[in-house]
């Protein structure tokens, strides 16, 4: 689990120099199981299992997710 900071991409690479999860996590083979917008912050699950990442992220599996938003 990682509390993704504001203005960080929910991925480990960037082609335009934006901050990514790699700036906060040094663990090869990890995948984010979910996605938060660049301009948001919050808890992101990380896994080293591609199958689990697909199961949690792919709309085909309809994993229930709850989001709390503060404006």
**Terminal C-alpha separation, the chain:** 23
CA 25 → CA 10, 14, 48, 59, 63, distances in Å? 12, 15, 13, 26, 25
Does residue 37 have an active-site annotation?
yes
Write down the catalytic residue from 16, 23, 37, 39: 37
Q: Among all residues, which ones are annotated catalytic?
A: 37
């Amino acid at each position: 689990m990682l509390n993704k900071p504001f203005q960080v991409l929910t991925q480990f690479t960037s082609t335009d120099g934006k901050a990514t999860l790699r700036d906060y996590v040094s663990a090869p083979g990890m995948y984010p199981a979910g996605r938060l917008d660049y301009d948001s912050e919050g808890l992101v699950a990380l896994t080293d299992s591609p199958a689990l990442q697909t199961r949690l992220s792919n709309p085909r599996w309809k994993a229930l997710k709850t989001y709390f938003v503060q404006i």
